[in-house]
Structures are given as structure tokens and as C-alpha cells.
Structure 1
Amino acid sequence: MSTLVAEFGAWLREFLPADYYERYRVYRWDIPLRRDYQRAAFEAGWLQPTWPREHGGRSLGLRDAMEIRIEAALRSAPKLPNIAGPGVAAPGIRKFGTPEQIDRLLVPLLRGDEWWALGMSEPEAGSDFAGLRTRAERDGDIFRVNGHKIWTTQAHLSRWCTLYARTDPDAPKHRGISCLILDLHSPGVRIEPIRMASISDETFCEVFLDDVEIPVANLLGPYNGGWNVALSSLQHERQMIWIMNWVEIKRGLNSIKGTADADIYTELGTLLADAEALRATGYRALNNELAERPCPEADTMKLLGSVTLQRVWELSAAAAGTASTADPDLLFERQDALAATIYGGTSEVQRNIIAERVLGLPKG
């Protein structure tokens, strides 16, 4: 264990309540605790380890940052209450934002004082991000926006939204999109939470936009350059997703060990190998990034991690037999794993991306 990882572990132990692990089922949903964790991590420089201190980091290298994130996941550190903010919006603002946007928005976002939503998915586009229909028409010093977003996590709790809209209907689909910073308190914005069968604090919403005015100064990145803003912003999230999936896979596998069923043990061995393949791929991606080489592993890690996670919890239920139906933790993990192949890019979309952009296969 490196000195940095040990330092982070000591800081985390000091932060967490004494009974955190005994009452983890309760604390995992404790929003005030998760808010406090985000603010404390920001102030201590553990929130975004590669960034400078004023932005919640320590100017660390990528390898050290990944080890700290792995350690946080292994120790079941509290999850950030608004992952779309630090996980997606912040990297985009820091890379593409104007000095004024960075000064106004970044620190309140990172501290957790202002929550953010991600306005990408639409009812008619599904997983086809480039097929979005929300329109933003330039009118002097504003964009006039009309459209409909769906599956917008925590929009009802957020102040801001990175909204992707079509600004050039005549351009090729990927090139006519811009990213706008939307104040969700603006006139013309209507937010409707979507009731879910599952129990979760991360409520999905529909967002309706009726002649919403967004200042041109709120354009994030180049005009018609929203596709690249989205890809860059989501890359940060996917780097975190593989770590979370790997740790959850290991935890699920540990719950299965000890069974005497030969078939289950055979599948357990396969899943253990897949878990190590995921970790090795994560480190290979890191080495490519450090060497500034192309990094096609991001999409393969997302696909392998999410599919393996589902298989692990299905096997865990099979090993538990009928007792699995009476175990609320196991039921939750199985249900939660089902979403892993959807959030951050569906498995179907990931397979298409891998086929077309990594393997160079023809479409169709």
C-alpha cells in the first residue's frame, strides 16, 4: 500500500461514524452524510485527486488517483449524493468552460452546494444520443430552447443542467449539437419526477422545455461541438464505473464462496477470471492514457464490468436458493445490477461502438 493510499484510508476512518460499517444498510442512503463526505473530500483534496487544490484535488498523477478511487470503493466510502455534478459536469466545465463559467460554477458544484443534472436522453431518441430532437435556436444574445428530456437523474433537486440540444438541424447528426448550461429555475422549465418500482434516492425525471431562454454566454464548448463535450465528460464517469463494478463484483463473489455445488463453483471460477480481466484492462487503459496513446478500452470495460456484475448477483441468488427471496440485501443487489447495463451507455450501444470504432466493422 502506498503512502498516499494509507493517508487516504486514515482520513476516511477519521471521517466515518464509528458504527458506519455495522449500520451500512442505513448509512448508504444517508444524504446528509454523503453531502458532508463530498464537502470534506473536496476540502481535503481527495474529491478530484488529479486536479489542483482549489478544485478539490492534490495535483496527483493518474496512477495515484486511480489507486485512491479503488481504495475508496473497497472501503465502501459514501457515494457522492449527486454524481452527475462531479462525475460528468465538472470535467466538462473544467475542460471546455470559459474563465467566467469556471469561476462561477465549478467550486459550488464540487463542494456539493449546487447540484447538477445531465440533459441527454430523450423519449424519441432512446440510446441514440446523436438523434436528439431538442432544438436551441439563436435569437440575439440568447438561445430559445424547446424540447423534452427523460431519465434526467435528480433534475428536481438540481439547480443546473448540462443540456444538449440541436443547434444546426442541417448538419450531420453528430455535428449539429451544442451543450448549454441551463438554469433549471428558468421560466418555461417543467420537471416531473418519474415514479419507480425500485427504492432509490436517485429519482429520474422528465424535463419539459417550452421557449426556455438560455444566455449565449452559457454555451459550454464550441458551437455545434456538443458531441465532443459529451464524449470527454462521460469518459471521466466511465473510468469510475469500471472501478465501482469491479469492487461490487469482488464483493458479490465473496458472498458465493463456500458453496458445495459443482456447477456454481465452475461458474464462480469463470467470473473470478473475468473480474481480474476487468482490472487488468483498467490498468492497461491507464498505461495508454499515460503514454497518450488511443484508449479503446473504456467502452470494453463498461460492457464487461456491467455484464459480469449481473452474472455475479444472479449466481449469488442461485447459490442462496430459496433463501435469496427473503434476503433484502441480495434482492437489492440483483435489482441494482440490472441497471448497470443501462446507465452510462447501454450494452447495445457499447457493442455498436466497439464494433464500429474499435474493430472497424461495417455498419448494418
Structure 2
Amino acid sequence: MDFRTRVRDWLSANLTGEFAALAGTGGPGREHENVELRARWEKALGAAGWIGLGWPASHGGAGADVATQVAFFEEYARAGGPGRLSHIGEYLLAPTLIAYGTKDQCDRFLPPIARAEEFWCQGYSEPGAGSDLAAVQTRAERDGDVWRVTGQKVWTSLAHLADWCFVLARTEPGSKRHTGLSYLLVPMRQPGVEVRPIVQLTGTSEFNEVFFDGAVTAASNIVGAPGEGWRVATGTLAFERGIATLGQQIGFARELDEIVTVAHDRGLLDDPAWSDRIVDAWVGLQALRHQALRTLGSGDGVAPSVAKLMWATWHRRLGELAMDVHGAAATLADGEPYELSAAQRLFLFTRADTIYGGSNEIQRNIIANHVLGRSRRG
């Protein structure tokens, strides 16, 4: 049995019973859905060995190559697998520890991630340092055998569920920008950590504010040396924009298919202006896929920024297309409890795609600096 068939068969057999309700839930704009059931789903994934596919066998993973990992993400998306609660630990923190951490850190933190026993969140953005990550002001001071962390993080996904947070903090007083930062692993369930949900106009809370007031973590819970936080943090961002984006694109394709169906039902496809917009969206999606496949494992340092800029801009335009295709009816809610429709959710939440994870402006700066720097060295 080939790998894709094995994944497909397992998902078909397990997205049933109590887990049947999870299909298609928990994605962007729906992170609040079925949280307890999704946590149990994560444990089922871990028990079956699906967490950590790409980790080296020496770190408890399956050592799967890129093609195998792509197959898993695509089949998971096609099956309507729910939004993952452990993705920050599995796809961001774990690769970072494998690349930059110590053996003791890997031995301590990777197994609970693989078993879905500990969830993680990302402590990067701050009220004055959103897309400009180098402007963080959260500070950490060494106090004997511990670090004491003080500051505020914002837009922190899953912070209300997380057991741990990887925090970018300034550990050298008076340092500026990229210097003097450190990458700390901080337990969330302790005095000195307060999580406040950010309630949106939709009534849901996709994100949180996190306040650290002298929160403590062991001195050994620093990834890399003190002051090397920028290098480690940008490494994490590169992992964030890696193989998992190909599974994300399956979801994009499903959204486009739904738009095409509505356009067909409304008789819009006979209009060249409408058909051109839909064809443009389809071509753009193919470009995203080919760009991702071309650059996976290439080691091209600017490729993650190019990919983020491409998919975020394309997806935002898809949200606009969805609303336009539905017409005036897209501005209405069906009635209480006034849940968003799929098109409304797509439109509203894709507005954030070009901001979070590094805004489009920041990605353009990174790309420009990379290209100009390369030309100067030449």
C-alpha cells in the first residue's frame, strides 16, 4: 500500500464517530470550534504516528522526505481534517529545537509534542512591534538559575490553551533592533502569566493578549546563546512557511471550487469579465503550488518571504472575489446567532493574511534587501 493510500484510509476510518463532527472545522476564523474534541483528535494523530513525520528518526520522528510530507498534508486537507491545535509545536517549535536547540531540550520537549500532551503558542508580536519583529520590548533578566520575563505579547493564537510559549525577549539592556534578543521557552501555567482573549466584531476570540509579569523559566530554557534570538526567531519563521503551506493550498482550492459553483449557479460564467477573474484566480493558485514545490528544501533564504507575499495577496483577493460573486446577498446574515457564511468568513479573515506573520510591506523589504545585498556582493 502506498503512503497516500495509507493516509487516506486512516483518515476515512478515523474521521468517524465522535470525530465526524470535526470535518472542515477549526480553520481560520473558526479556531473556537470544537476545541476539546480537537484536542482528543490530536492525541489520536499522535498515537497513530502522524505527528512529527518530518522530524529525523533520531528525534523520534519518521524521517519522512519532502514528497511524503506533502502527500500527508494534501490528503489531510482533502479529507477535511480539522484545524490543528498542535501545529505551532509540531511545525514551528520542534524544527527550531532540532536545528538550534540542545539534546536535552529536544529530549524534554519533542516527545510531549509528538503525543499531543503539550500545546504551544508563539510570543512574537507586541502592541508596538507587530510586523516589525525587531522592535520587541518584552524583556527578560537572568536571576540565578532562572529568567524572569516581563512584557506584553499580542495576537497570540491558542495562548488560552497552550502549556508553553516560545518568547522573543530583549535580554541585553539598552540593545536595539536585531541585537540583544533571546529565544526563551516559557511555561504558561504559572503566576505572572495572564491571558486575555481579544473579542472581535464577530463575537469570537481568535487571538489573545498575553501579559508577563516576572514570569519564570529555567535558565536552560533558552534556545541558542543569549543575544542570538533574532537568528533563531527568523529560523522559526522559515519553518512556518514550509511544507505545510501545500496542504493549505488544498483548502484554497476548495474555496475556489465553491466560488466557481456559485458563479455557475448565478449564470456569471457566461460573462467574460467574471470568467476572466475566476481563471486569474485559478492560474494564481497553480503559481502558488509550483513556487512552493520549486523552493522546498532549496535553502533559499528569501523563498519563505516570496511565498508569504504571494499566497497572502492571492488569498485576500479570493475573499474579495467570493463576496463579489455572491452579490448583495453576501452582506446579509441569515439570522440568529448571526454566524458568518463561508464567503463572509473568507473575506473578513483574509484581510489579516497580508498582516500577520510579517506584513506584505515587511516581506517586500526582506526581498529587496536580499536582492540588493546579493547584487552589492557581486
Q: What's the TM-score, normalizing by structure 1?
A: 0.88
Paired residue for 2:356, among 335, 340, 343? 343
Deviation at 1:193, TM superposition (A): 2.0
Q: What is the aligned-residue identity percentage?
A: 33
2:199 is aligned to 195
Counterparts of 2:289 and 2:130, CA distance in 1? 30
2:215 is aligned to 212
1:10 is aligned to 9
Check the 8 A contact 2:73/2:244 in 1, yes or no.
no
Report the more deviating stretch, 272-281 or 61-70.
61-70
Seen in structure 2, the aligned counterparts of structure 1 residues 358 and 250 have a Cα distance that, compared at 3 Å, is farther
Report the more deviating stretch, 242-251 or 148-157.
242-251
Seen in structure 2, the aligned counterparts of structure 1 residues 356 and 52 have a Cα distance that, compared at 3 Å, is closer
Check the 8 A contact 1:191/1:205 in 2, yes or no.
yes
2:320 is aligned to 314
Paired residue for 2:294, among 284, 305, 308? 284
1:43 is aligned to 47
Check the 8 A contact 2:302/2:366 in 1, yes or no.
no
1:227 is aligned to 230
How many matched pairs? 356
Counterparts of 2:111 and 2:165, CA distance in 1? 16
1:272 is aligned to 282
Seen in structure 2, the aligned counterparts of structure 1 residues 325 and 37 have a Cα distance that, compared at 3 Å, is same
Counterparts of 2:19 and 2:190, CA distance in 1? 40
Seen in structure 2, the aligned counterparts of structure 1 residues 35 and 21 have a Cα distance that, compared at 3 Å, is closer
Deviation at 1:54, TM superposition (A): 8.2
2:154 is aligned to 150
Seen in structure 2, the aligned counterparts of structure 1 residues 90 and 329 have a Cα distance that, compared at 3 Å, is same
**1:250 lines up with 2:253 in the alignment:** yes
Deviation at 1:98, TM superposition (A): 2.5
**1:129 lines up with 2:133 in the alignment:** yes
The one-letter amino acid paired with 1:213 is V
Report Cα offsets for 1:193-245 as digits up to 9, x if no partner. Answer: 22222355x64222222233332111122221111211222222212563254
2:336 is aligned to none
Seen in structure 2, the aligned counterparts of structure 1 residues 268 and 176 have a Cα distance that, compared at 3 Å, is same
Seen in structure 2, the aligned counterparts of structure 1 residues 106 and 26 have a Cα distance that, compared at 3 Å, is closer
The one-letter amino acid paired with 1:345 is G
Counterparts of 2:231 and 2:124, CA distance in 1? 13
Counterparts of 1:48 and 1:26, CA distance in 2? 22
Report Cα offsets for 1:68-88 as digits up to 9, x if no partner. Answer: 212222322122124322232
Seen in structure 2, the aligned counterparts of structure 1 residues 293 and 119 have a Cα distance that, compared at 3 Å, is closer
Counterparts of 1:359 and 1:255, CA distance in 2? 41
Counterparts of 1:70 and 1:212, CA distance in 2? 40
Higher RCO (C-alpha under 8 Å, 6+ residues apart): 2
- Higher helix fraction (1 or 2): 1
Seen in structure 2, the aligned counterparts of structure 1 residues 245 and 310 have a Cα distance that, compared at 3 Å, is farther
Q: What's the TM-score, normalizing by structure 2?
A: 0.85
Check the 8 A contact 1:285/1:295 in 2, yes or no.
no
3-state SS of paired residue (1:146): strand
Q: Unaligned regions of 5+ residues in structure 1, if any? A: none
Check the 8 A contact 1:192/1:207 in 2, yes or no.
yes
Deviation at 1:169, TM superposition (A): 3.5
The one-letter amino acid paired with 2:323 is A
Question: Once superposed, what is the RMSD of the aligned Cα atoms?
Answer: 2.7
3-state SS of paired residue (1:213): strand
Seen in structure 2, the aligned counterparts of structure 1 residues 183 and 26 have a Cα distance that, compared at 3 Å, is closer
1:97 is aligned to 101
Q: Unaligned regions of 5+ residues in structure 2, if any? A: 28-32, 334-340
Counterparts of 1:75 and 1:216, CA distance in 2? 43
The one-letter amino acid paired with 2:287 is A
The one-letter amino acid paired with 2:324 is A
